Amino acid sequence: MRLKTKRNRKQYHMLIMGITLLLGTSFTTVHAEDMTEPIQDTVLDPVVVTANRIPTKRSDTAANVTVISSDQIAANHYASLAEVLRQVNGIVVTEASMTRQDLVRIDGDDRVLVMIDGRRMNMDKGASSNRASIDLKTIASMQNIERIEIIKGAGSTLYGSDAVGGVINIITKKGKNVKSESTLDMSIGSWKTQNYDLTNQGSQADWSWFVTAGLQNQDYMKYNNWKNDTTTRMGNSDYAKKNGTVRLDKKINDASSLTFNYEHMTDDSGQWNEAFGYSKYGMSANYLHDRMDKLVNNAAFTYHYKENTDASSYFRYYQNYTTQGFNDIDGGAGYSRYSNKMTGFDWQDNWLIGQNHFVAGTEWHQTKINNGALSGGDYLDKKITNKAVYLEDTIQLTDRLTFVPGVRYDDHSMFGGQTTPKAALNYKIDPKTNMYASWGRIFNAPNADDLFWHDPYGYMLGNPDLQPETGYKTTFGINRQFDEKTAVSLSAFESKIHNAIGWVEIDPTNYIYEALNADEQKKRGIEFTVNHKWSDKWSVDAAYSYIKTETKSSDNYNWDQNNSSPNGYNFGVHYHDAKWDNAVNVSGGSGRSLQYFTASNYWIWNANANYKITNAMTAYIKIDNITNKAYEITGNKAVGAYPMAGRFMEVGVKYTF
């Protein structure tokens, strides 16, 4: 039985009304002389490279795009990529139990591709028992990030099977044109938290560099226990992290250059399965001694050419290596480790043919997986290889209408060849308004965990008979900049995936899960965002998202009750002058199932203040979850088993020399 409710109809009525109002405002405010003016650069219209793999203004892009700048990251003192993304409309980041992995969902979908400078970071294995294939905790540093580009919508044509929900591209900083400049950021906070970050950058002759080193430590975190409204210590939740990154750039001539990237990270953390007092699996609520360690070593060499044209191209070789070890002291299984190594080659060439921009590229990557944590099965020293070629053309049909067709062919070592086409349209209604529509086919092969996982206790069983996921995703949207102070965005999406893969509890008595294909999975949603600048000092932003997922099995559609934000909300007020840079942010969710969460809604208040003591020194204070709210992002039938952290305060100083 398909679920249709008054709330669903109301959401789409609101969407249609919003588009009508935006279009009506746009058409009624455009005069004949305006239509003959060239399209001008406007405020809040950054240039992005991820959507089309070429530099394109946001208003010329047929996609739902969000850009987070390094200034935003620094002003809010985000400590991790997960913390940044939780503030973005339509994105949810959960933390997997036991493995302490940060898993991201875009448009309700955890099939998300994460890249660094266009380089794939996902592995051909699962990050946990879902469709995610990357742990955000493996991103080494926040100090080397120039900006983060988030593209929502099917990106399978340009980026491959992981890009179903969308793409997150982390653009790193290039060394400034100075002899040498260093920055030291030191802070202390709740739960004996200590953070130290040092960066150095500069240039000499044809060389430039940007180097980071960091150290983070935290004792056991605390949370508000919803059962008795008391602050509770989470046993064995401490961690220690060390990280470093290097980016070297060498200018060869006006047309070409070389870039070397390296990222290193180690992490040692305590493991807890559920909050104290929960024992869904008949085990101890906390693993009081078990430890998890991680190691990341990534390197890439990129040759850029045709840089003196508008069609810059590149060739890249890279290796990504991650390993994770688990010391099961309480369970008696001892120490086990699994590792993943990806080797890849990327080539992309661009051409300008008249007003059209043509992109062609090839990719080859191979993942080697060695899982010593398993007994039995066929999951030791596995190799998965994928070869691909893609083509995309940006065709200027008129001065205001752009058509973007594309196609990709993948040759997967286990599932053969697959073609994924794409089509998108972008229409400039006037110099301040654009509408877009995009459609893309989806192909996603089962990952190695889905196929081969066989843990020694028999709780998680892979399925070698799985079929690949196929389907499509469609996105519509409109962006309207009313003036230099106010901008509004509205978008809607729908996706349909056949043979959707999920981990299903096939034996509730013995807690046994198996990877299975469902008949069909449907997702739909809307987003609405407003940015307004009150004055030179004050600005405000507000956002709303609605996401619904239904999975069909045995001729019935079942609503995803584990959705932590069916209705998501973000609101922020910002103040900036010569000395102060302050912000108050509110985020929340509603419409949550009480079968998985302690409350149907939640609201979290965060705030930070930055004071410039001198041009070289800034002091800051940051408070997360000001009201010490008891809430969860990860749902569970043992309601409240995975609480989020309570009130957290941090003070620090940042000095440049």
The span from the CA of 277 to the CA of 281, in Å, is 12
**Is the CB of residue 376 less than 8 Å from the CB of residue 395?**
no
Q: Following DSSP, what letter does each residue of 458-475 receive, concatenated? A: SSEE--TTPPPEEEEEEE
Which pLDDT does position 174 carry in this prediction?
A: 95
Q: Following DSSP, what letter does each residue of 53-67 receive, concatenated? A: SS-EEGGG-SSEEEE
Q: Which residue has the tokens 């045709």?
A: 306
| Structural tokens at position 421 | 């086409």
How far are the Cα atoms of 100, 245, 405, 457, 565 from residue 602, in angstroms, in the given order? 23, 37, 42, 36, 9
State how far Cα 652 lies from the chain centre.
27
Which pLDDT does position 273 carry in this prediction?
A: 72
Which pLDDT does position 419 carry in this prediction?
A: 92
DSSP SS3 for 644: coil
Report CA dihedral (95, 106, 573, 611) to the nearest 10 degrees. Answer: 60
Which pLDDT does position 32 carry in this prediction?
A: 31
The span from the CA of 648 to the CA of 53, in Å, is 39
| Structural tokens at position 484 | 């230099």
**Is the CB of residue 307 less than 8 Å from the CB of residue 257?**
yes
Other beta carbons less than 10 A from residue 543's beta carbon:
21
CA atoms within 13 A on the CB side of 58: 24
Q: In DSSP terms, which residues pair with 35 in a beta bridge?
A: none
The span from the CA of 42 to the CA of 50, in Å, is 20
The span from the CA of 151 to the CA of 298, in Å, is 24
Which pLDDT does position 148 carry in this prediction?
A: 94
The span from the CA of 283 to the CA of 132, in Å, is 26
Within a domain: 348 = yes
Phi and psi at 553, nearest 5°, equal -150, 130
Q: Which residue has the tokens 């800034």?
A: 618
97 burial via Cβ count (<10 Å: 0-12, 13-18, 19+):
middle
Within a domain: 1 = no
Strands 207-218 and 193-204: antiparallel
Strands 512-517 and 460-461: parallel
DSSP SS3 for 156: helix
Residues of the chain with pLDDT under 70: 1-45, 48-54, 58, 96-99, 127-130, 279-288, 330-334, 372-380, 456-458, 554-557
Phi and psi at 41, nearest 5°, equal -65, 135
The span from the CA of 189 to the CA of 506, in Å, is 44
Q: Which residue has the tokens 């995803």?
A: 560
Signed CA dihedral, 510, 511, 517, 521: sign only: positive
| Structural tokens at position 409 | 């062919």
How far are the Cα atoms of 187, 493, 525 from residue 568, in angstroms, in the given order? 31, 15, 11
State how far Cα 266 lies from the chain centre.
21
Residue type, 305: Y
Residue type, 269: S
Within a domain: 590 = yes
The span from the CA of 12 to the CA of 546, in Å, is 10
170 burial via Cβ count (<10 Å: 0-12, 13-18, 19+):
buried
Q: Which residue has the tokens 């108050």?
A: 584
Could you tell me the pTM of the whole model? 0.89
CA atoms within 13 A on the CB side of 319: 6
Containing structural domain, residue 520: 6-656
CATH of the domain at 53: 2.40.170.20
Other beta carbons less than 10 A from residue 641's beta carbon:
21
Which pLDDT does position 128 carry in this prediction?
A: 63
Dmax of the chain from CA atoms?
Answer: 78
Which pLDDT does position 178 carry in this prediction?
A: 86
| Structural tokens at position 262 | 């390296």
Which pLDDT does position 315 carry in this prediction?
A: 96
The span from the CA of 114 to the CA of 283, in Å, is 35
Which pLDDT does position 371 carry in this prediction?
A: 72
Which pLDDT does position 453 carry in this prediction?
A: 79
The span from the CA of 404 to the CA of 153, in Å, is 14
The span from the CA of 420 to the CA of 636, in Å, is 36
Q: In DSSP terms, which residues pair with 404 in a beta bridge?
A: 424
How far are the Cα atoms of 98, 273, 564, 636 from residue 631, in angstroms, in the given order? 19, 17, 10, 12
DSSP SS3 for 284: coil
Please enumerate in sequence order all residues whose Cβ is within 8 A of that of 316, keeping only pairs 6 or more positions apart, or say none.
118, 119, 300, 301, 302, 303, 344, 345, 346, 347
State how far Cα 519 lies from the chain centre.
27
Within a domain: 77 = yes
| Structural tokens at position 620 | 């800051």
Our count of domains for the chain comes to: 1
